Structure 1
């Protein structure tokens, strides 16, 4: 592809010009007819990618680690494992009835017994590269009352598809527990929050979510399982537009050229393709507090070697539990930078973290429990690349906790992954990550939460 040889600063011109050549982008993007509407959305999304890129990622990783440490200090859990286990249990109340959590994101909102009336407080709690995500904060509450998905062109008011295709910010909640089978991929527009707190929402047996050339989306407290490929067809993708789609991949959540995305407290299992893919210039993303099980290729960040726009990709993966019957890609990265921090890796069959095309991977304070198979103890895997090339890649491990023979092969130079900030951060932000020995408490409530109005969650 021609743009692979150009400076990233000229990407807007190149990317837009490629969209005129309908065949190449439409095949990958599952857009059968790349019309003026999609050309404009693609151009807007690329501009957003360039604007959302953080040139000094050290600011973001240190900001995360500072707040993680602050949460531990303010719960009184920083004085050793005995006090941590005896006084604080993540996700529970203390003897006096006051909610406490060791997890910096959860602690921001879960102690509020009036969370159901203050739902939008959630937007104050995101950390990591998705820090600026506000979802539907600036819009009204939209209540989903109908679990059906029968009309892809004129979705019925009250359905989830109707809600996510509105051309305005919305905070979407659910009237009751629902099982939703999506007939085709759910095309989500800008400035949306899908908030499943207070009920149980299952997206199952059908297609998954697609976030294509959009910005500012929060997905929170949703079950997703047994996601299948959609056969395509005419599908509404916004309030004023619908178009012809090709067969979808069967991803749980497909993030395509999207920015400012936060996925939090999602439980996922058994998708036909990937659980969460972030490709084609997607950046400013945080994936947190989720529980992932029963899958082969879990997280894919960067879809093709030729997509050099993914050098702008920056993603935080934090406080997640990678659980039973997982095989590989937690994540698998091309280009870009991923901060993998305070996750619990209790199962993998091939490897946990892999990649190629010189991505930067900063692994901090995770717990890695290797499988029993002797040939799969290594956490890391560099794919399709000789040692003479990957030895300079910046893959760093700090305060990770390794069990059952697990080991992380580092490369590159320590602290070489971030240039000195132009605006130096305060000294109090220069702090080490929470150690992997504390991960079990930090991730205890990963996955969907049983939140009840009138009680702390």
Structure 2
């Protein structure tokens, strides 16, 4: 009888243990998921971040882009080459296998780049990124910093995702290996983080950029069909330039989407500064500015939609700045639709006329949500902290 009672007690203790383990495991998983679900996650992140097996399905990212870049499905296919960076070193003329420059200069075709471990990459010369390249930094902590940085020159279909680019420095003219494996001469580089020159269909997403000697992101010389999303721009004077200079009229065809980005702290101006082209700036968070947040010249057009502009307690309150041409004014088209303003921030719109529409195609289109959700939509901007076991 006593033995039976002991066995019975052990049985129920075992059942209780199983129930407790199940409860706590389920509760932990539920809590982990709720940390994401409680936020008003933006449409790009909703597309892939709920998938706990994103590591096995990295290419799912290509259908998540919105705005003028469209979908990035040209970056995948049966001919996709998977390349893993294992070596943080850089040699501009003779790159070794396993380095980032080796992929950029030696490997041709569609390439999906991942990195084996956390690393700091100090580029000796600027890295020219080839067409149909994806740099996917999810799952590791990657810094490109402290010297030369990134350039996209006459290339198309490129994704730069989840890396930190900072403390970029000017570079004197010099020799380096280009995307086709040939040695080329590159002129003076001003020290920006990412520069686009005559590029198209480029997606810059979930990166953290800061503290460079020139700008953080330049879209120049006829570049178009660009989406800049979910990035964190901070600690910078000149942040983002759209359009090369006043004389480069080919930038009239430039179309850029700037969405779900976080600007600040300590960003002074150019968020963005537009010449000639058109920008749709939507659902971004602006944490103050020193000179202005958004500027333009040379008949540039802007639709500022459902952004949150928070001015500093003291200093400039006006969001916009416009440069006159030859002292006779200009015909900018700057419109604010559904923007929210705090701490006295204000936006000077173009008088009369109609709001310029993005005119997106079906695959480019996305819903711009109410500005009251912008804090939540941008709360994961910049480099994501990805769990080693499941969610990102």
Query: Are the aligned partners of 1:399 and 1:433 in contact in 2 as well (CA < 8 Å)?
Result: no
State the superposition RMSD in angstroms. Answer: 2.4
SS at match of 1:162: helix
Q: Match of 1:155?
A: 95
Deviation at 1:372, TM superposition (A): 2.9
Q: Match of 1:381?
A: 321
Q: Match of 1:16?
A: none
SS at match of 2:53: coil
TM-score by length of 2: 0.86
Distance (whole Å) between structure 1 residues aligned to residue 165 and residue 343 of structure 2? 31
Q: Match of 1:198?
A: 139
Query: Are the aligned partners of 2:211 and 2:234 in contact in 1 as well (CA < 8 Å)?
Result: yes
1:445 aligned to 361, 380, 383, which one?
380
Query: Are the aligned partners of 2:39 and 2:377 in contact in 1 as well (CA < 8 Å)?
Result: no
Name structure 1 gaps, 5 residues minimum.
1-90
Distance (whole Å) between structure 2 residues aligned to residue 103 and residue 342 of structure 1? 9
Q: Match of 1:76?
A: none
Distance 1:227 1:304, change over 3 A: same
Aligned pairs (5 A) from 1:84-163: 93-94=33-34, 101-134=40-73, 136-138=75-77, 139-149=80-90, 151-163=91-103
TM-score by length of 1: 0.74
SS at match of 1:235: strand
Distance (whole Å) between structure 2 residues aligned to residue 254 and residue 225 of structure 1? 13
Distance (whole Å) between structure 1 residues aligned to residue 32 and residue 339 of structure 2? 25
Post-superposition CA distance 1:360-381 (Å, at most 9, x none)? 100001000112334x110000
Relative CO higher for 1 or 2, CA cutoff 8 Å, sep ≥ 6? 1
Distance (whole Å) between structure 2 residues aligned to residue 432 and residue 124 of structure 1? 16
Deviation at 1:119, TM superposition (A): 0.4
SS at match of 2:167: strand
Distance (whole Å) between structure 1 residues aligned to residue 338 and residue 214 of structure 2? 32
Distance (whole Å) between structure 2 residues aligned to residue 131 and residue 137 of structure 1? 14
Distance 1:330 1:132, change over 3 A: same
Q: Match of 1:324?
A: 265
Distance 1:101 1:140, change over 3 A: farther
Post-superposition CA distance 1:13-58 (Å, at most 9, x none)? xxxxxxxxxxxxxxxxxxxxxxxxxxxxxxxxxxxxxxxxxxxxxx
Q: Which has the larger radius of gyration?
A: 2
Distance (whole Å) between structure 1 residues aligned to residue 134 and residue 127 of structure 2? 14
Q: Match of 2:245?
A: 304
Q: Match of 1:84?
A: none
Distance (whole Å) between structure 2 residues aligned to residue 413 and residue 260 of structure 1? 33
Distance 1:411 1:258, change over 3 A: same
Matched, 1:263 2:204: yes
Number of aligned pairs? 358
Deviation at 1:394, TM superposition (A): 1.7
Q: Match of 1:164?
A: 104
After TM superposition, the structure 1 stretch with the greater mean CA deviation from structure 2, 103-112 or 240-249, is: 240-249
In terms of fraction of residues, the more helix-rich structure is 1
Deviation at 1:386, TM superposition (A): 8.3
Deviation at 1:388, TM superposition (A): 6.7
Deviation at 1:454, TM superposition (A): 3.7
Aligned pairs (5 A) from 1:424-439: 433-439=368-374
